[in-house]
Structures are given as structure tokens and as C-alpha cells.
């Protein structure tokens, strides 16, 4: 399977976007924990990733709150289940790892949910930044806590003006 890629600037640093023929497969920040770098065989294709880039630009401008992109989430069935649950957390809202585990019907799987959250390959669009500690604290984020804080504050500012909607995308595939 061919991996296509492009990069784009953003308020949180350069983003690496990846896709397959099935859809967007990754959004990674510079120095993203566990994030890939373009590899031999990857194809630089800005046209294929133009729609994702445009939607991310609009998100950062504050004019887009619902991503409408085909996704190719590559992970275990459990990871994809968690990533799909993340997509149901409303724009401007947060949820604890425990709440997320309960939402997927596995209230005792808090650590496993945290691990799956940490392996989310499509940051921002699959909003893993919206997951916080049970006490309301910011917890780990592959892009770093300053970026997580920025994303949460960005959404909170827009939410306070009533500019919110729930993330709605096509179901992901395993």
C-alpha cells in the first residue's frame, strides 16, 4: 500500500500529513512522540492531501469545527474503537480516560484506553487532545503538553462564543 505525504505549517508547528488510497492515515507534529518521518517509497503528493490541509487550516482559523474526511485508521480493533469514541467528544469539550473507557463499555480498561489514545495516528482530527485526567489535569500528549494546552484553549475560546459542533466523520476502518 502506498503512503502519500505532505507537510504544512500550523500555529503548533509543522504538521506531517499521511494518507493511503483509503483516506487520511496520519497527522503528526514536529517532534511528535512516536511520530514517523517520510520514508523511502513514500510519495509526496500535496494534491491528494489538499482537502485535509484546507480543513486543518480552517480549524486553526476557527471557522471549521467538524472534519469531513475519509480516514484510514490503522490499528487494532480495540484502538480503532477508542479512536472512534474520541471522535464523539464534542468540539470544545473534554473527557477523562475513565469516562472514555465507560463510554466504550469497558470501565476497567482505563490504562488500555490511555495507551490507545496515545497511539492515535490522526491527531487533532481524531481529538485525543480532548482527553484529560480524572482530576481535570492535562496528562500526556504525543505532541507535548504545550500543544495540548493550545488546542484545548483554542477550542474553548470558540466554544464560549457558541461556535461549536460535534466532530462528525465517516466511520474509520481497521
Fold of 77-159: Arc Repressor Mutant, subunit A (1.10.10)
Annotation says 6 is catalytic: no
Q: What is the rounded distance in angstroms from the CA atom of residue 123 to the CA atom of residue 52?
A: 12
Sign, Cα dihedral of 30, 114, 154, 7: positive
Closest CA to 2 of 44, 35, 34, 31: 44
What pLDDT digit, counting tens, does each position of 141-156 carry?
888 899 999 999 999 9
Mean model confidence pLDDT for the chain: 89
pLDDT reported for residue 3: 96
- The pTM of the full predicted model, rounded to 2 decimals, is 0.87
| Domain boundaries defined on the chain | 4-61, 77-159
User: Active site residue: 27, 100, 128, 167, which one?
Assistant: 128
Phi-psi region of 62 (alpha: psi -120 to 50; beta: other; left: phi over 0): left
Q: What is the rounded distance in angstroms from the CA atom of residue 64 to the CA atom of residue 62?
A: 6
Does residue 162 surpass a pLDDT of 90? Answer: no
Amino acid at each position: 500500500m502506498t503512503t502519500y505525504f505532505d507537510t504544512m505549517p500550523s500555529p503548533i508547528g509543522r504538521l506531517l500529513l499521511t494518507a493511503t488510497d483509503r483516506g487520511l492515515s496520519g497527522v503528526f507534529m514536529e517532534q511528535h512522540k512516536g511520530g514517523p518521518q517520510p520514508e523511502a517509497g513514500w510519495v509526496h503528493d500535496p494534491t491528494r492531501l489538499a482537502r485535509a490541509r484546507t480543513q486543518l487550516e480552517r480549524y486553526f482559523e476557527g471557522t471549521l469545527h467538524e472534519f469531513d474526511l475519509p480516514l484510514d485508521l490503522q490499528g487494532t480493533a480495540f484502538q480503532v474503537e477508542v479512536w472512534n469514541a474520541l471522535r464523539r467528544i464534542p468540539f470544545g469539550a473534554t473527557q477523562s480516560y475513565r469516562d472514555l473507557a465507560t463510554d466504550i463499555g469497558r470501565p476497567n480498561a482505563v490504562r488500555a484506553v490511555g495507551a490507545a489514545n496515545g497511539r492515535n495516528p490522526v491527531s487533532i482530527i481524531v481529538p485525543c487532545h480532548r482527553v484529560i485526567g480524572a482530576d481535570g489535569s492535562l496528562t500526556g500528549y504525543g505532541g507535548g503538553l504545550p500543544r495540548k494546552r493550545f488546542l484545548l484553549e483554542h477550542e474553548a475560546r470558540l466554544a464560549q462564543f457558541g461556535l461549536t459542533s460535534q466532530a462528525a466523520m465517516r466511520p474509520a476502518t481497521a
